[in-house]
Amino acid sequence: MAMMEEILPTRGYSIPLVDLDGDEGRHVVVDREEGQYLGHVSTQLLEDGKTILAVYPKGHGRGPIVYKRSTDGGRTWSDRLPTPENWATSREVPTIHRVIDPKSGAKRLIVWSGLYPARLAVSEDDGSSWSELQPVGEWGGIVVMGFVERLRDGTYLAMFHDDGRFIASKNQAANPRVFTLYQTFSHDGGLTWSEPGTVWSGSDLHLCEPGCARSPDGKSLAVLLRENSRTRNGYVIFSDDEGQTWSPPRELPASLTGDRHTMAYGPDGRLFISFRDTTHDSPTKGDWVGWVGTYDDIVQGREGQYRIRFKDNKNRWDTTYPGVDVLPDGTFVVTTYGHWDEGEQPYILSARFTLDELDKRAGLRD
């Protein structure tokens, strides 16, 4: 990985902002229930290029898992689908991931549910049926999992964080609070997972909610991190050896400062990242935003090309644990929750766009 030039992070950004908040027809309601909090959504696009599965809790960060399907690339969504009985006992935000068995080639879907103990549900038929949530070990954590990344040898790497409260059966929280990033590996296509190992730990920074991008050449991983003390920008760590070792955390530009970074590449090799805006100086602070740039922008500490506001959140912070999916034609389908109407409970929206479309809005092309 090339060394970056020294660029000191700022509290604000200078790149253009594309505002899609008022676009008629841009947003699709995935789910809404009068008086009920719906939040923290996670999605997975299947290999047919049009089926998207979504899971999310009935409640803030915890509650029964709701499950829905779109069969037309996010334009319309099913009614709520049946789920195993103990999905109603989920205590944390669910996350859904595609995994492939490295020996048999069998494709599976897995749904994680965190806190202690971390639990896992498995589908062997592309989400038509599911197992109940089962503990994966004598450990737990927060936002289990931030991401699940397939490594070059077919192993899966997953990462989460904890502040001492949920990593073990007994509360181990310290004062001052210590945040720890953990990683775990699966060698059998997501069925079993290793005892978590520490990636980073500290109390001076509160690093959490990891989101991962692999470099275009496939040789390195970048993990973007939320900084929860709100005193610094977001951070990034890098690995050049498939997660065996990680660089020290480095502060990100303000343009990438936010919570719950979720990302995917567009057809031209540029990177799109969706997140909650927690930039210190930003006209869209607390809103559902995105960023367009390159992997090298992250390596070099550059601001990127432009930002996007997808929707104005009527709460000062509570929004955007996002799903990001890219259809075969290059259309992005991004899905999240937020307080979209003043005084109402949050609900789930989806939005569609292409990078070419956003480039024109940002003034990068005619």
What does the pLDDT look like over 281-328, one tens digit per residue?
Answer: 999 999 999 999 999 999 999 999 999 999 999 998 999 988 999 999
Residue 171 above 90 pLDDT? yes
Distance between CA 160 and CA 212 in Å, rounded? 11
Give the pLDDT confidence score for residue 365 in this predicted structure. Answer: 78
* Domains observed in the chain: 17-361 (2.120.10.10)
Question: What is the 3 state secondary structure string of the chain?
Answer: CCCCCCCCCCCCCCCCEEECCCCCCCEEEEECCCCCCCCCCEEEECCCCCCEEEEEECCCCCCCEEEEEECCCCCCCCCCCCCCHHHHHCCCCCEEEEEECCCCCCEEEEEEECECCCEEEEECCCCCCCCCCEECCCCCEEEEEEEEEECCCCCEEEEEEECCCCCCCCCCCCCCCCEEEEEEEECCCCCCCCCCEEEEEECCCCEEEEEEEECCCCCCEEEEEEECCCCCCCEEEEECCCCCCCCCCEECCHHHCEEEEEEEECCCCCEEEEEEECCCCCCCCCCEEEEEECHHHHHHCCCCCEEEEEECCCCCCCECCCEEEECCCCCEEEEEEECCCCCCCCEEEEEEECHHHHHHHCCCCC
140: phi then psi, degrees, rounded to nearest 5: -155, -170
∠185-207-156 over CA atoms, to 5°? 15
Give the pLDDT confidence score for residue 366 in this predicted structure. Answer: 66
Distance between CA 59 and CA 188 in Å, rounded? 33
Residue 8 contacts by C-beta under 8 Å, 6 or more apart in sequence? Answer: none
Distance between CA 361 and CA 366 in Å, rounded? 9
Give the pLDDT confidence score for residue 4 in this predicted structure. Answer: 47
What does the pLDDT look like over 199-249, one tens digit per residue?
Answer: 999 999 999 999 999 999 999 999 999 999 899 999 999 999 999 999 999
Q: Taking residues 140-169, report their average pLDDT.
A: 97
Of 4, 1, 30, nearest to 335 (Cα)? 30
pLDDT band at 2 (very low <50, low <70, confident <90, very high): very low
147: phi then psi, degrees, rounded to nearest 5: -160, 160
Q: Taking residues 339-362, report their average pLDDT.
A: 97
Of 252, 234, 244, nearest to 299 (Cα)? 252
Task: Please give the order of strands across the beta sheet that includes 332-338.
Answer: 27-31, 347-353, 332-338, 323-326
pLDDT band at 7 (very low <50, low <70, confident <90, very high): low
Q: Give the rounded percent of residues in the chain with a pLDDT score beyond 90.
A: 93
> What are the structure tokens assigned to 90, written together?
């989920």
Distance between CA 15 and CA 17 in Å, rounded? 7
pLDDT band at 1 (very low <50, low <70, confident <90, very high): very low
> What are the structure tokens assigned to 211, written together?
């989101």
> What are the structure tokens assigned to 104, written together?
């048999």
> Which residues face 347 on adjacent strands?
338
Dihedral sign for Cα atoms in the order 244, 152, 323, 309: positive
What average pLDDT does the structure give for the chain? 95
Please give the span between the terminal C-alpha atoms of the chain, in angstroms, as a whole number.
Answer: 34
Q: What is the pTM of this model?
A: 0.95
Of 161, 87, 149, nearest to 120 (Cα)? 87
Residue 5 above 70 pLDDT? no
Q: How far is CA 83 from the centre of its chain?
A: 23
Q: Taking residues 332-358, report their average pLDDT.
A: 97
> Which residues face 28 on adjacent strands?
350
User: What is the torsion angle, in degrees rounded to the nearest 10, for the CA atoms of residue 306, residue 312, residue 313 and residue 314?
Assistant: 150
Give the pLDDT confidence score for residue 296 in this predicted structure. Answer: 98
